[in-house]
Chain A
Amino acid sequence: MSTLDYSDLSTVVDEVLAGQAEASRRNRTPQIVKLDRRQFLKATGAVGGGLMLGFATPVAFAKTAALQPNGYVRIDETGVVIYAKNPEIGQGVKTSLPMLVAEELDVAWHDVTVVQSPIDQVRYGMQFAGGSTAIPMNYEALRRAGATARAMLVQAAAKRWGLPADSLSTQDGVVRHANGTESATYLELASEAASMPVPSSASLKLKDPANFQILGKRVTGVDNEALMRGEPLFGIDQVVPGMKYAVYQKCPAIGGKVVAANLEEIKARPGVQDAFVLEGNGNAMDLLPGVAIIADSTWQAFEAKKALRVEWDEGEASEDSWSNAEQQADSLRNEPGTEIANTGDVEAAFAGSAKQVSGFYRYAFVSHGQLEPQNCTASFSDGKLELWAPTQMPGRGIASAAQIVGISPANVTLHQLRCGGGFGRRLYNDFLCEAAAIAKRAGVPIKLQWTREDDMAYDLYRAGGFHQMHGSVDDDGKISGWRDRFITFTHDGRRPVSGGGMSGGVFPGGLVENVRIEQTAIPWKNRCAAWRAPGSNVFAFVVGSFVHELAHAAGRDHLDVLLEVLGEPRQLGPRGMHTGRAAEVVKLAAEKADWGRALEQGRGLGVAFYYSHAGHIAEVADVSVNDNKQVKVNKVTVAADVGPIVNMSGAENQVQGSVIDGLSTLFNLSVTFEKGRVQQSNFDRYAMLRMPEAPPVDVHFVNSDYPPTGLGEPAFPPLAPAVCNAIFAACGQRVRTMPLTDAGYTLV
C-alpha cells in the first residue's frame, strides 16, 4: 500500500468527531485549578504581541488583587472578563461558552468582556472545535466556574457586612442583603473576594433553569462589531515584526517528491528573498515534500509560485482516479463484502417478503471549502516556536509542530485565532507544520499563505462512496429486511478512511429486525478526513432515501412508516438515539410543514430524520420540480431536539447554515480525481450555493430537559434525504446520485 503514513487519523479523534466518543455523551468536567496571580500572568502573558495581534492581553494587575478562581473568570475594579476556551470557527462558541459562565456568575451580559483564552490543557482541559462537543463537554463545568466566583463574591460581602451568606442575593453583578440596604457591586468586592477560600464544587448550588437570565436567550456574537470594523481577528490578518510572506508548492499528486526546481530563477524575481526545498517528514498529515518561497508580500510570493517549475518524482505518488473507482464499485456491488453487522436473517426476510426493492446509491468526494484559505504565521528563534494559527485542534498542532522543528512542546506557544470556517478541515494541522518548518529554515518570522488553488488541491476530502441497497416489506407493509453493501475507500488497506466506516448503529440498525451491512474498501491515496458530521453526512442520504423507497413500495405514507420504524419510546444503547425524542421531532416537523396537504402538480414534500452527534433532528423539504429537472426548494422546516438551547440566535443560525450547506453539497459539490490530481481548482468549478437559491428555513426546537448537546453538525445530515424524497413526491423520480447535478438536476 501507500508508503505514506496517515497516522493523524487516530481512532479516538475519529470517534469524537463522529460524535461517538464518551466525551460527547456526558458532561466531562475539566480539572479546574486555582491559580495564583503570578501563574495567571505567566499564562496569559504568553499571548505576546498583545493588541496588535487581535488579542486583548489582560492588563497588568492594578494595586488591588483580581478575583480569578479559575481560568474562566477575572474580576477586578475595572470590569468582568470571561475567557473563551475553544477555537471559534463560526459555530459560536466564543459567545455561547462564556454565556454559561456569565449565567451562574450572575452578571449582566453587556457588562462582560470576552477574551480568547491561551492554550493550557491543565487549566482548560481539551481545547478544540470538533464533533459538536463544546456544549456537552463544558455545560456543567463552565456553569460551575461562574458559580465559584459568585460564591466567593457573596462570601466577601458577607464578611464585609457581618451578615450570613445565605441572607444575600445576587443579580446583574451586584450583591444585596435580602431585607437591608446593603449592596455592593462585584467590581467593588473583587479584591476582597480574591482572598476568600475557593468553595468546593459540591457546595455550589447551580441555578434552576427557570431562573436563567442569559441562557436560552438570543445573544449576538461577541465579535460582531469587530468584524464590522474589519479588525484583525483571523489568522490571515496577523502581522508580526519583521515578518515575510511564504508560499509552499507541493506535488499535485500526493506522495510526489521534489527532484529539482528552478530555485535560482525564482530567487531573482522581484521581492523574493529565498526559495528552498523541504523534504517532508513522511507523514501525509504533517509535512509533505515541496518548495517554499519567501517574499516581501503575498502577491509577490503568489506570482513567484506561478513561475515555479518543479520536477517531481511521482514513483510513489497518488494515481487515484474517480472514474476508475466508479467502475470498480460497479462490479464490487454484486459481490458480498466484509460483514460489519448482521442481525436476524435478511435472506429469509427477503424470501418471505411481499415486495423487494433495490437501489444503487453513489456520492462524490467533496472539499471543505472553508472561506479563509489555510494560513499560519510562525516565528522560530532560540529554540522556541511561536505560532498564530487558525486551527480547530491547537493541542495537536503544538505537538506536531514541536516534532517538526525538533523541540519540546513546552517551547511552543500557539495563539488561537478566529477561523474563517472549519467544517473539520482545520482539525488537521498540515498547514501549521509547514509554517513551522518554513519559519525555522527561513530564519525570519513568516506568514504561510495557501492560495485557494492550494486549498482545493491539498484538502483532506470527505470520501465518496457507493451503497448497493436491498430491502423488503412484508404483507403488512412493514420493513422486514435491509441490506447495505457499502463500498468505501482505505488509505492503509486495513481500515476505511476517516468518515468512511459504517457500523451496525447506523439507522435503521437496532430498529429493523433483519439488517445486514457489508463493507468493501478501494485503496486510495488522497487524504480523506472529517467533514461536517462525518459518516452521517452521507449515510443519511442513503438510508433516509431508502426508507422512503420501501414505504413507497408498500404503498404507504412515508411518515407513517418512519414512525413505525422508530416504534415505542426507548433509548437505543448508551450512545444511541431515543426513539421517543426522534418520533417527537418527526411529528413536529411534519406538523409545522403541514404534511399531507394537497399540492399542485410538480410540487412535493419529503421528510427525513437522522440522529447524529447526540442530536435528534427531522427535516421536511417542500420542493417544486419542472420538466427540465430544475428544482426550486420552496422551504425547509426543521425540528430539533438537542436539549436546552444555550444561545437561541446562534442555534438558529447553525441550523439554517447547515441546511444551506446541505443544499449546496446535495446539488452542486463534487471533487473528482484523475492521475492522482484533483480536477477542480477554484470556486468556478466548485459552485457553492449563492443567495438567490437560498430558501426560507423554518426552525423549531423541542424544549426538552435532556442534557444539552451540540449543534454544529446534526442539522446537516437529514437535509439531503428530505430533499430527494420531496423530489420523488413532486415528480416520481428517485435520485440516487449526489451531487444531483450529476443526475441532471439543477437548483434554482
Chain B
Amino acid sequence: MKLKINGQDRDIEDLDQKTPLLWALRDELGLVGTKYGCGVSQCGACTVLVNNVPVKSCTMPVGGLTDAEITTIEGLAGEGGELNPVQQAWVDLDVAQCGYCQSGQVMAAEGLLRSNPNPTDDEIDQALAANICRCGTYIRIRQAVKQAAGRMVAGE
C-alpha cells in the first residue's frame, strides 16, 4: 500500500491494514519522531496531522489513510531545513524538559495554527488539552504557541 507522508509517496509492503499509523511510521518507515506514550488516544505523544487536522496515530489504522496527506514532525521544516515558526518558538523558549511529549505538542499546535492562526489563550489550552506533558512544561508550551502565532501573523 501507499501512504503520502510529508509530501512523499511511501510504499509499505505487506502491512496489515489494521496496523496503527504510529507503528507504520516508526517501525516500517523509520520516522521515529512520532512517539508512543499510551496507545489508547490518551496522551497525544503520537499526534500527527492528517489533512491538516491533529490525530492520534496510535489508534488510527493505516488502511483508511491511502488518500490522506499525513504530516509528521519530520515534515515541518522548510526545504532548506530551516525550522518552521512553531519549531523555532519551541527551541527559543527552551520548552522541553525530557522532550518526549514535545513532538506531539508541536503537531497539536501546528494543527491549531493551520486552522486558527490567531488563537486566544483559551483556544490554545483547549487545543492542547489532549496532550500530556509529564514533565509539566505547559507554561512554556502556551508561551511558545503564542510566540509562533505572533510571528506567523507578522509574516515572519
A465: interface (CB < 8 Å) = no
Residues on B with beta carbons closer than 8 Å to the beta carbon of A688: 132, 134
B132 touches A683 (CB 8 A): yes
B39 touches A694 (CB 8 A): no
A372 touches B97 (CB 8 A): no
* B32-43 interface bits toward A, Cβ cutoff 8 Å, 1 = contact, 0 = none: 111111111011
A234: interface (CB < 8 Å) = yes
With contacts A227-B103, A656-B136, A697-B139 taken as known, whether A90 is within 8 angstroms of B98 at the C-beta atoms is: yes
* B79-99 interface bits toward A, Cβ cutoff 8 Å, 1 = contact, 0 = none: 000010001001110111111
Q: CA of A696 to CA of B142 in the docked complex: distance in angstroms?
A: 11
A51: interface (CB < 8 Å) = no
A130: interface (CB < 8 Å) = no
A416: interface (CB < 8 Å) = no
B100 touches A371 (CB 8 A): yes
B138 touches A230 (CB 8 A): no
A227 touches B26 (CB 8 A): no
B135: interface (CB < 8 Å) = yes
Closest A residue by C-beta to B32: A237
B141 touches A691 (CB 8 A): yes
B101: interface (CB < 8 Å) = yes
A691 touches B129 (CB 8 A): yes
A404: interface (CB < 8 Å) = no
* B47-86 interface bits toward A, Cβ cutoff 8 Å, 1 = contact, 0 = none: 0000000000000000000000000111011000001000
Residues on A with beta carbons closer than 8 Å to the beta carbon of B11: none
8 Å CB contact of A421 from B26, B32, B72, B100: B100
B32 touches A371 (CB 8 A): no
Q: Which of B7-37 contact A (CB under 8 A)?
A: 16, 19-20, 23, 26-28, 30-37
A661: interface (CB < 8 Å) = yes
With contacts A298-B23, A452-B39 taken as known, whether A690 is within 8 angstroms of B94 at the C-beta atoms is: no
Residues on A with beta carbons closer than 8 Å to the beta carbon of B73: 228-230
Q: CA of A478 to CA of B45 in the docked complex: distance in angstroms?
A: 51
Whole-angstrom distance between the Cβ of A528 and the nearest chain B Cβ: 20
Residues on A with beta carbons closer than 8 Å to the beta carbon of B83: 225, 228-229
Q: CA of A422 to CA of B133 in the docked complex: distance in angstroms?
A: 13
Residues on A with beta carbons closer than 8 Å to the beta carbon of B23: 297-299
* A400-443 interface bits toward B, Cβ cutoff 8 Å, 1 = contact, 0 = none: 00000000000000000011111100000000000000000000
Among A89, A224, A692, max chain B CB count under 10 A is at A224
Q: CA of A658 to CA of B106 in the docked complex: distance in angstroms?
A: 22
With contacts A227-B99, A421-B100 taken as known, whether A682 is within 8 angstroms of B40 at the C-beta atoms is: yes
With contacts A373-B36, A664-B136 taken as known, whether A221 is within 8 angstroms of B42 at the C-beta atoms is: no
B135 touches A236 (CB 8 A): no
A692 touches B125 (CB 8 A): yes
Residues on B with beta carbons closer than 8 Å to the beta carbon of A489: none
Residues on B with beta carbons closer than 8 Å to the beta carbon of A230: 31-34, 72-74, 103
With contacts A230-B72, A682-B38 taken as known, whether A91 is within 8 angstroms of B30 at the C-beta atoms is: no
Whole-angstrom distance between the Cβ of A691 and the nearest chain B Cβ: 5
A228 touches B37 (CB 8 A): no
Q: CA of A659 to CA of B40 in the docked complex: distance in angstroms?
A: 27
8 Å CB contact of A371 from B77, B95, B101: B101
* A627-666 interface bits toward B, Cβ cutoff 8 Å, 1 = contact, 0 = none: 0000000000000000000000110011011111100100
B139 touches A227 (CB 8 A): no
Residues on A with beta carbons closer than 8 Å to the beta carbon of B131: 690-691
The B contact surface, by secondary structure, is loop
Q: CA of A606 to CA of B95 in the docked complex: distance in angstroms?
A: 28
B137: interface (CB < 8 Å) = yes
With contacts A220-B92, A298-B27, A688-B132 taken as known, whether A653 is within 8 angstroms of B137 at the C-beta atoms is: yes
Residues on B with beta carbons closer than 8 Å to the beta carbon of A650: 94
Interface residues on B, range: 35 or more
Whole-angstrom distance between the Cβ of A596 and the nearest chain B Cβ: 26
A372 touches B42 (CB 8 A): no
Whole-angstrom distance between the Cβ of B16 and the nearest chain A Cβ: 7
A694 touches B90 (CB 8 A): no
Residues on A with beta carbons closer than 8 Å to the beta carbon of B28: 297
* A193-224 interface bits toward B, Cβ cutoff 8 Å, 1 = contact, 0 = none: 00000000000000000000000001011011
A369 touches B27 (CB 8 A): no
B97 touches A92 (CB 8 A): yes
Closest A residue by C-beta to B92: A220
Closest A residue by C-beta to B136: A660
A227 touches B101 (CB 8 A): no
Among B19, B32, B95, B134, max chain A CB count under 10 A is at B134
Residues on A with beta carbons closer than 8 Å to the beta carbon of B92: 220
8 Å CB contact of B106 from A228, A302, A371, A664: A228
Q: CA of A718 to CA of B90 in the docked complex: distance in angstroms?
A: 29
Q: CA of A73 to CA of B45 in the docked complex: distance in angstroms?
A: 35
A451: interface (CB < 8 Å) = yes
Closest B residue by C-beta to A451: B39
B140: interface (CB < 8 Å) = yes
With contacts A224-B91, A228-B91 taken as known, whether A418 is within 8 angstroms of B99 at the C-beta atoms is: yes
Residues on B with beta carbons closer than 8 Å to the beta carbon of A420: 35, 98-101
Q: CA of A402 to CA of B132 in the docked complex: distance in angstroms?
A: 36
Whole-angstrom distance between the Cβ of B74 and the nearest chain A Cβ: 5
With contacts A220-B91, A690-B129 taken as known, whether A657 is within 8 angstroms of B100 at the C-beta atoms is: no
Q: CA of A423 to CA of B90 in the docked complex: distance in angstroms?
A: 23
Residues on B with beta carbons closer than 8 Å to the beta carbon of A236: 32, 35-36
Among B28, B103, B135, B137, max chain A CB count under 10 A is at B135
Q: CA of A466 to CA of B130 in the docked complex: distance in angstroms?
A: 34
B3: interface (CB < 8 Å) = no
Q: Which of B100-118 contact A (CB under 8 A)?
A: 100-103, 106
Q: CA of A305 to CA of B131 in the docked complex: distance in angstroms?
A: 27
Q: Which of A438-485 contact B (CB under 8 A)?
A: 449, 451-452
Q: CA of A173 to CA of B32 in the docked complex: distance in angstroms?
A: 36
8 Å CB contact of A372 from B19, B37, B76, B77: B37
With contacts A234-B100, A236-B36, A372-B37 taken as known, whether A691 is within 8 angstroms of B42 at the C-beta atoms is: no
Residues on A with beta carbons closer than 8 Å to the beta carbon of B42: 682-684
Q: CA of A725 to CA of B100 in the docked complex: distance in angstroms?
A: 34
Residues on A with beta carbons closer than 8 Å to the beta carbon of B91: 220, 224-225, 228
Q: Which of A674-729 contact B (CB under 8 A)?
A: 682-684, 688-692, 694, 696-697
A245: interface (CB < 8 Å) = yes
Q: CA of A232 to CA of B87 in the docked complex: distance in angstroms?
A: 17
A281: interface (CB < 8 Å) = no
A233: interface (CB < 8 Å) = yes
Q: CA of A411 to CA of B36 in the docked complex: distance in angstroms?
A: 32
B128: interface (CB < 8 Å) = yes
Closest B residue by C-beta to A664: B136
Whole-angstrom distance between the Cβ of A26 and the nearest chain B Cβ: 27
B136 touches A231 (CB 8 A): no
Closest A residue by C-beta to B124: A691
Additional A-B contacts beyond A228-B76, A298-B36, A691-B138 (20; CB < 8 A)? A220-B91, A220-B94, A224-B99, A227-B99, A229-B74, A229-B77, A229-B83, A230-B32, A230-B74, A236-B35, A299-B23, A371-B43, A372-B35, A373-B37, A419-B98, A421-B98, A649-B94, A661-B136, A683-B43, A691-B133
Can you offer 8 A-B residue contacts whose CB atoms are under 8 A?
A: A90-B97, A218-B94, A230-B33, A420-B35, A449-B36, A653-B137, A689-B138, A691-B128
Q: Which residues of B pack against A, CB within 8 Å?
A: 16, 19-20, 23, 26-28, 30-40, 42-43, 45, 72-74, 76-77, 83, 87, 90-92, 94-103, 106, 124-126, 128-142
Q: Which residues of A pack against B, CB within 8 Å?
A: 88-92, 218, 220-221, 223-225, 227-234, 236-237, 239, 245, 270, 297-299, 302, 369-373, 418-423, 449, 451-452, 649-650, 653-654, 656-661, 664, 682-684, 688-692, 694, 696-697
